[in-house]
Amino acid sequence: DGGNGGPAWGAPDSSHHHAPAPRRRAGGLITAIIVGALVAGGVGGGIGYWAAESNDGGSTGSTTVSAGEAPKVSDRASGTVAAVAAKALPSVVTLEAKSGDGSGDTGTGFIYDKQGHILTNNHVVASAANGAAITATFSNGKQYDAEVVGRAEGYDVAVIKLKNAPSGLTPLAIGNSDQVAVGDSTIAIGAPFGLSNTVTTGIISAKNRPVASGDETGSSNSYMSALQTDASINPGNSGGPLLDSRGAVIGMNSAIQPSGGGNGQSQAGSIGLGFAIPINQASTVAKQLIKTGQPVYPVIGATVSMGDESQAGTEGGDGAQITTQGEGGTPAVTPDGPAAKAGLKAGDVITKFNDTAIDSGPTLIGEIWTHKPGDKVNITYKRDGKQSTVQLTLGERKGDS
C-alpha cells in the first residue's frame, strides 16, 4: 500500500548509494554517514600534517616584524552564525555504532529532551539491531553509552537514549519546517568524515524534494519530501540538525548527491545538494517512537508502481500507477481500505496529492508520509483518459514490515 513495496534502500555502507535524485535522473543519493575505521583523530592528524608541511615553504630563516596586538575575542553578537553555533554545539553529539569486530558507522544526533533522548537517522544506528554498541560524544569530549528506543526504517528516523544521562541537558529548540521559505539561511552541524563539531552554512535551496533511498536487498525503504540545502553536508553529517538563523531545528540532515557519481566513498562529497527530513515530520515520528517504540505510517490502502521508470521521477512524469496486483498475490487495492472506499481501482494513475503534482511512486509515498493517519486528502487520478478527484481518509500501518 502507500507504505509498502518499492525500491531497495541504502544500508549505511560506502558502496551503497541512494535512489535517484528528486525529479531527475542523476547520480544516486548517498546517506550522509561515514562507515568503517575512520576516526576524527586520524583525519585531524593527517590534515594537521598537510597544513604544517604546506605552510613551511622551505624557509630556513625568520624575520621579526613589529605588529599591533590582535584584539581579544569577545562574545559574538546574538543572531550571528558564531553565536548560534556556540549555543547549539553542546546539544549535538557524534554517534558511533561499533560492532564487535571493530567496524562501525559514524553519524550525528542532537538532544531532543532533558531525559536524554537523541534524535538521529535510522541508518546511523541500524547496525545496533545486530548487536552494535552505540556511543555518543559531546562537543566537550565527554562520552556516554546509548541504546535504541525505536527505529522507523521508512521515515529514516530513530530515537536513542543516553544511559546514565547527565543532568542539565539542553534540548535544541524545534522550529516549524512548514514555515520555511526558499532562500532562508541554514546552519548544519555534524561530523563530516569523522570531524566532529563541524559547522557549515547555506540556504534552503528547495522544498518538497521527493527523495527515495534504499539498499540492495529490498528489505527496507525510506522516503521523504525533503528540504534541499546547499550547506556543505558530507558522510558523517547524517542525523545532525539543520538549523535556521535563530538556531531552531528545521530539519535532520540525511542524504547527499555525491560528486562524480562513483561507487567509492572517496568520491562521495558535498556538491551543494543536501537533503534533510523536515523537522515537523521527524519530531512527530520521534514522539511516537518514544511513546510506543514503533512507528505508525499513514497509508492509502493501495500498492503503486515503484519500478525504475517511475522511481526516476523525471520532470513531467506520468504519475504513480496503482498496480494490478499487490505483493504475494494480495489485491493491489485493499478491500474496504481508504482507496477502495474512495473508489480507486487497479490501473488508476494518481497525478496529484492535494495540491502537489505526483510524477512517481516514491513522490507519492513521500507526500503521504508528511501526513498522519486520519487526515483527509484529495487524490486526483486518471482512468481511461478521464481525470477525476476524490477525497480519501488515510489509514494506518504500525511498525516496519
* φ and ψ of 287, to 5 deg: -60, -40
The beta-strand segments (E) located in 70-152 are 92-98, 104-111, 117-120, 133-137, 143-152
Residue type for 190, please? G
Of the residues 238, 305, 310, 360, which is catalytic? 238
- C-alpha to C-alpha distance for 364 and 343, rounded to whole angstroms: 18
Residues 393 and 372: beta-carbon distance below 8 Å: no
Closest to 210 in 3D by CA, of 333, 327, 306: 306
156 is a catalytic site residue:
yes
Q: Is 231 exposed, middle or buried (0-12, 13-18, 19+ CB in 10 A)?
A: buried
C-alpha cell at 319: 504519475
C-alpha cell at 89: 554545539
* φ and ψ of 315, to 5 deg: -60, 135
The strand pair at 133-137 and 274-278 is best described as unpaired
238 is a catalytic site residue:
yes
232 is a catalytic site residue:
no
Closest to 366 in 3D by CA, of 151, 210, 227, 180: 210
- C-alpha to C-alpha distance for 13 and 6, rounded to whole angstroms: 20
Of the residues 1, 13, 105, 156, which is catalytic? 156
Of the residues 16, 17, 117, 123, which is catalytic? 123
Specify the residue for cell string 519500478. Answer: 307
- C-alpha to C-alpha distance for 315 and 300, rounded to whole angstroms: 24
Question: Which residues form the catalytic set?
Answer: 123, 156, 238
